[in-house]
Each structure stands twice: as C-alpha cells, then as structure tokens.
Amino acid sequence: MSRKFVVVDLETTGNTYEKGDRIIQISAVTIENYQIVDQFTSFVNPGISVPPFIEELTGIHDDMIKDAPTFSEIADEIYGLLADSIFVAHNVPFDLGFLQGELGAAGYRNCVTESIDTVELSKVLMPMSTSYKLSDMSEMLGFEHENPHQADSDALVTSELLLFLIENIRQLPLITIEKLTDLAHHLKSNIALLLHSIIQEKRMKLEDLPEALEVHRGIALRKKFQPDTVDNNESVEYPSSMEEKQKLLTSFVNGYEKREGQMQMMDTVYKAFVGEKHAVIEAGTGIGKSLGYLIPALYYAVKHHQSVIISTYTVQMQDQLLYNEIRRLKDIIPFPFRVSVLKGRSNYLNMLKFEQSLTDRDHSYDNVLTKMQILVWLIQTETGDMDEVNFSSGGKHYKERMKHDGWFLQKEKDPWISRDFYMHARHLALQSEIVITNHSMLLVDIEQERNLLPDSQFIIIDEAHNFIKAASKSLGKKIEFNAFKFLINNIGTFDKNQLFAKIEQIIQHHNIVPKVSTSQFDNLILRLDAEVDDFFMLLSKWIIKSERKLSQNVAKHQVRFTEEMRQERDWQSVLMCAERTLDFHKQIRLGLEDRLELIKEQKEIPITERAFVEEANSFMLEWLTLGAKIKDFMLTPNIQEVVWMEGDTRTLPNSIGLYSEPENPGGFLKEHFFSDKKSVVMTSATLTVDHSFKYFLQEVGLNNYSLMQTIIPSPFAYDKMAKLMIPTDLPEVRHTKTEEYIEAISGHLAAIASVTDGRMLVLFTSYDMLRKTYNLMKDSGALDEFIMLAQGVTSGSRTRLTKSFQQFNKAILFGTSSFWEGVDIPGKDLTCLVIVRLPFSPPNEPIIAARNEAIKKRGKNPFSEHSLPEAVIRFKQGFGRLIRTETDRGVVIVMDRRIDTSSYGQAFLQSLPNVPIERGPLKEIISTIEKWL
C-alpha cells in the first residue's frame, strides 16, 4: 500500500466536543512506504481552563497553553496533512470526532474518508492481549513511551504500534489473511484495505508455511504439541537437608536468601504425601508458597509414578504457576517432568462449529470481530482454551455457541477429531506428573462423576480460603429471568429463523416427519414465553411485599424460600405457574429430542448439518439443566439447600434471579472428596483465627479428622514496615445513621488523603456505602486534585481499576467484595489502607441466615461459631493488601471503633502480625502518618 498514513493523537479538556470540550494538544505522525517520515505537534489554546483531572492525567496546565495558537490558526496546516491520507488513531471515533468538530468550526469540510483504528486492529491481531490501552500495549511491546497522555508521545507510539501490527499481518499465512479480509468489510474502520494490499504483496511470491503451523480444512492452526516421553527415575531423592534445599533454590533465584519458612513448607507437603495424610498450611506473605509446594510435589510425583493435581481459585494464579514458576523450575530440577493445565470441556473451542460459523451470513460487529480474533489465535494457541482470548462483552455470546460440549453424533465422523483441543488437553493431562486445574473444575468433576481429571490421590489446593466458596458455587444453581428468556429466543418460533427454524430446514431436507408438528411446536414456544413472564411477575410481588415489610432502602432485595413461605396461600399460585412452565418446557424438550434423534438416524449427514446438530445438542444440554433447576427450586426442594430469589425493585421482573446453595458444603466435601483421596494439602496466607485452624476445618468438613496442621509466619518485619491506626473521634457504627456515618468517614478520608498524597485503598463491606461515600467526596470538591476510582462506579474491571490507580500519583481507590483479596499493589503506589467497617456478612443474607439457624439448632452460638471467624479471616485478607514485598511500607487505618469497644475486637487484633497500634483523634493520627511516611 503506497498510500500515506497520518497517525493522530489529541489531548482534550474532556470526552465530548458537543458538550464544549476542546483540543489542548495535537500531534500527527506521517508514515510513507511503511516508514515514519515526519511529525507535527502543537499545543492549542482551547479558550477554557484545563480541568484538574486532565492536568493530573496529561501534565498539561493553563500556563503551557495560554500563548499557544487557537485551533482555527493551525486548521489549514492540519487540513493539508490529512488530505489524501488514511487517518489512523488509537480509538478513531474519539480523535476523529474532535477533529471534525474543530475543522468544521474553522470552516473546513471533512477530508477523512478512510481510517484505521489501532484499537480494532490490535484486537484482531493480538487476541490474547490482556489490555488494549495504549500505555499497557507500549509497555508490553517494549516501545519507548516518554510521556503517556501527551499527544506527541502517544502519536509516536501509535505509529510504532501500527507498523508493528502491519508486520504482524505479513507474518500470517496467506489463507488466514484471505479469511480475515472477507470478514473485515464489516468492521468499523477500513482494515480490509490494509489486508487486501498485503494479500497482493504475498501473492507475488511463493510462501512456505512455518514448521509449527498446518492447514486443515482451509484453516491455518498451530500443530499440537506432543510432550517428550519421560522415564520416571525411582532414584530421584527429595532434598531433605537444609543444605540440599538451599543449593536447589539458589539456582532458582539469583541472590537467594534462605527462607526457613519455605523449606519448612516443602517438608510438610512431602511428609503429607509420603504419610498419605491430609494437611493444612497457613503460609504468610513472603514465604514463597508456590515453590514451597511445587518442588515437593514434583519430587513425589516422579519418584512414585503418581500424578499430583494442583488446584487454584484464580486464573492469575494458574498463569503464574505455569508461565513463571514451572518454566523456571524446568531449568533447575535435575530430572525431566511434564506439566499440563486441564479445564472443563466448555472452555475449549469446538473446531467443527467454528469452521461452519465462518460460512454464516452473520455480519453483526461483535461476531465478525470475534471470528477474526479466533482465526489469528488459532495460529498462536497450543491449548484451544478460549479463556486465552480477550473477547468483547458482545463476543462472549458467540464464544458460548462455539464451546465444546462433547459429541451427539458419532465423534469418529467429526473431521476435526484428530485435532480436537479438548481431547488433546485430556491426553496431555493423563501423561503429566503435575496437572494444574481450578477449584470449580475439581469440584464439578467430583460432584458429577465425570472423571475428566486424572485419577490422582494427591492434591494441593492453593488459595484454599476460597475452597468452600467455590464448593458452594459449584454445588449451587441459578435461574435468571433474562437468561431464561434468552434461551427461549434462541429456539425462536419458525418465522424467527433461529434454532427451531434451522432444525425444521434439516428435517424437511431429509423428509423426516416428527411427532410434534411445526405449528404445534410454535404454539408451545409462545405459551412457554407467556408463562415465564407470568411466573416471574408473581415472584416480583413477593419481592415487593418483603421490601415493604422490612423497609430496607437497598436496590437489590433478597427473599429466602422458607417452609413458612411455602405454606402461605399466595404461594400456591406461584407453584401452579411453575408447574405449567415446567410442562411446556418438557414438551419443547421432547419435541427437540425427537427431531435430533431422527436426524441422527440418517445415513448421510452433510458437514454443515453436522456442525449445526452439535450446536443444537449443546443447546439441549442447557435446556435439560434448566428444567431440572425449575423442578428443584419450586417443586422438589431439598432441605439441605438454601433457596432464595433476588431482584432490583426498580427493574422487576427483568432483574429477578433464583439461586440455591448447600447449607453445609463441608458435609459433601468430607464424604465425596476428602474420604476418597490419600492426601489433600490445603494452603493459603489466611486460614487461621487466633492461631487455630478450627473454623476452616469445620467449614470444609474436616473438624474430626486427624491431619497435619502447620502455621508458617511471614518473614517480613511488620513491626518496622506497618502501623495500625484506630481513630477515636469517629462515631460508633452501630449507633449512628448510615448518612451521618458516611459524612464522618468522608471527612476523615479527605484529611488522610491530603497527608498520604492519595496512594490509598479504601475497603468497604457494602457497595451502597461505597457509592454514597464516593459521591459525597466527589461533590464536596475537597479532593479535586485527586483521581478517585470506585468499583462499580468508575467503569472498568478490578484489574483495570488497579492499573489506573497505579498510573496516577494522587489516586484513591474505593473497593468492596473482591478488593479484599487478590489485589496486588506493591511498592509506593499503595502506602495507606483504610478499612471502613469490620467485614461481617449481613445476617439477613439467605445463606448466612440459614447457617445461623442450623447452628442454633445444634445448640451453638452463630456469632462465635461462624460470623466472627469468617469476618476475622476476611479482615486478615484485607490487611494483607498493604505489605506485598519486603520493601513495602505503610499504614492501615481501621475506622470501625468496634475493634476497640466490643468484646470481640481483640479477635481481629490478635489475628494480625506483630504491628504497632496507635489510637487517638484524627489530628494526632495525621501527625503520626506524616512522620511515619
């Protein structure tokens, strides 16, 4: 492509030109013959002040732009640059929208007819990237980015990114680029132009496919990795002495300092396996927990010809093990070993479905983009695990369609069987000494007896404090109004050309006559749709009735299904409606099953039909599960399960969901998991309360087991690294109205932020309080020079909010729920942690209420048995956010005075490492913080 590219970046006073925001800096980089040839940059006087947020973000202030030209004064030069060129930006709608507004105001017509958006192009060509923000991508690709959020630096980096992406396209197989080009005409920017020009280049010369790739059925993909065979050597001896361990670990970490806690952990894990005993290990921050269990697991697995399963709660932990620790261990462990990751079947791409979807006349943007991402990903992935791809929210619906659900038709006739990702993953797992999986997969495998995982008797559960939560979720069920309606719409009546219509086309093609006619089936779908509306409307009335009774000012309202409720007369109409819903659901199921079985009996089924039948079978599995859930929730309740509904009273019935979880998942784990395994080792940084595992063992059903128990304290010198502060001039949370309490803590937070320069994480126990505190502090204007980020208020995932927090100098991050654990902000980015309330679960939450009732029936105290220990462990997790490395330093401020004034407050303080505690009014605390930091 000999055309000229002009890569533009703007800094502006805000997000919207139409609302009066204006350009304050512009930079345009010219690229010709795929080389940067020129750059134009200018500050622009917008005629308005630069807001504090923009000044903090860009470093551009009023003094820098007061003598700059207005846009109209440089408009002619900008117009000349853009004429006859392809406009490029990292987020074209933003930059082009502002430019068109400014050029139009200066009297120039739009001169941009073709554009390339590097965000869109990056999504296609880098499908596994975790972020498409320019600063993140430049860091990942190693581009020099001197001044992020200044136009000259951003434009230059965007130019480098464009050239990098163009080179990436050139490296793709021709067949992949051709398929991408067919789809690219439906994207938002003119990427098809670029792809077409590279196709012409590549057709000029013969191309050899790289050794690692192959083409099957017209799709290029990476060849399956075949592991080397390993001769397990029984002479492998575990490094039992301190000296042997230190020698091994020194070769793993340069400048390794002896960590006795890590070595103690290694010995405990190895002894548990050799002695075939279960074990619990609390390993404090800084122990080096991953190596503490990986090394003994490897030695045991290879010596005893046993596979060891390692289960984690988060994907991040799996990735850390696989891509950090395991890769480095391969260089130092003195014998070969194999490691694999195995997830549930639905995580893997079904290639037959994907191949056929490429022929669909479906031009919706999200589906087109997702297909393009998968085409590129297929030449990169060794696993076929769709979690590797950064799908858009819209693309996730397409991903659901493409998931693997086994085979309905003969799998031997699947033309992709030899390259099936799930089968390959299972094959690798069965040959591996170490298999990494997640708690959910581990539990589903046990509960549904799927035998997907290797039959290992030795298991390590990392992040074990979340094991009971994962068990509750895995054993639980849910039906949501919107999801139910979505499934009905997916079947669709005959005129909607959805799943039902496509099945009808197949049976007509084969001259099949089903038991239920087309018109009868249509009628069933319409009647079920109406019945579902009625069912959820009836449930809405119960939510409204309960809300009035409790007078609670919360958006999301929960109602537990109790025996008393089921005896009420009004409940009978709900039950009758549920029965009718289930009856129509069942008739539709039978109609679909009949059609699919009749198709299955045909001698020859074309490949396009095979792919669709497999997709229809995936749908049937979901439909079957839905029917079982309706029956369990409404008609055959299990006394050991807690069932409830919840909904937002502002959007009923759309927001209603029905949920269930076991009241005591520990009983299931004891019977179906721990009793079947020779050795299960559970580890985490937070498992004990008052130096005892009693609460955790009770939760997982091991309170009467004889097992190994080890507490390994953190090696960090907390007494020198952290201080705990308790303000004494805040009102008691129990005796104060919520609004008054929020007002009081907001004043304290503003004062503390001024001495810590932000760098503050504020943990809440309720989203409602978080939102109100954020809004009050934002509206007060007291913290205008600070960047305030809030979970659920500021857009972005937990990871994105954390990254934004680290990016700004004066930042305050408000978090709840997931922010109490798993957030890792080492170094000076976080020096102040504020805990607004002690993290007790609300006693009226359905699960908590049911457990408390069960504890009372056993003659015990629910508060001391469950509520307090659960809150203490959560408190420890929250405290653990502050000190992540041995060089960190900071303060923790607890604003809930119950930690001092209640009889149970000591339980929280005793759970912490040895940190100095200071109490006093805010003025004294602020003075101490200033000196300390």
* Nearest-10 Cα torsion for 321, 324, 326, 331: -170
285 labelled binding-site residue: yes
283 labelled binding-site residue: yes
Query: What CA–CA distances, in Å, run from 632 to 241, 529, 722?
Result: 55, 20, 51
Could you tell me which of 895, 875, 882 has the C-alpha nearest to residue 932?
882
Q: How far is CA 17 from the centre of its chain?
A: 33
159 labelled binding-site residue: no
Helix %, strand %, coil % of the chain (to 5): 50, 15, 35
Pairwise CA distance, residues 300 & 460, whole Å = 12
16 labelled binding-site residue: no
The 3 state secondary structure assigned to 521-580 is HHHHHHHHHHHHHHHHHHHHHHHHHHHHHHCCCCCEEEEECCHHHHHCHHHHHHHHHHHH
393 labelled binding-site residue: no
Read off the amino acid at residue 324: N
Pairwise CA distance, residues 697 & 702, whole Å = 5
Cβ proximity of 909 and 726 under 8 Å: no
Indicate the DSSP class of residue 623.
H
Read off the amino acid at residue 483: A
Compute the chain's Rg from CA coordinates: 30
286 labelled binding-site residue: yes
Pairwise CA distance, residues 372 & 261, whole Å = 49
Cβ proximity of 386 and 642 under 8 Å: no
CB-based contacts of 35: which residues, under 8 Å, 6+ apart? none
151 labelled binding-site residue: no
End-to-end CA distance of the chain: 57
Could you tell me which of 333, 249, 265 has the C-alpha nearest to residue 299?
333
Cβ proximity of 460 and 311 under 8 Å: yes
Read off the amino acid at residue 755: V
545 labelled binding-site residue: no
Cβ proximity of 242 and 267 under 8 Å: no
* Positions at the binding site: 283-290
Q: Which residues are annotated as a binding site for ATP?
A: 283-290
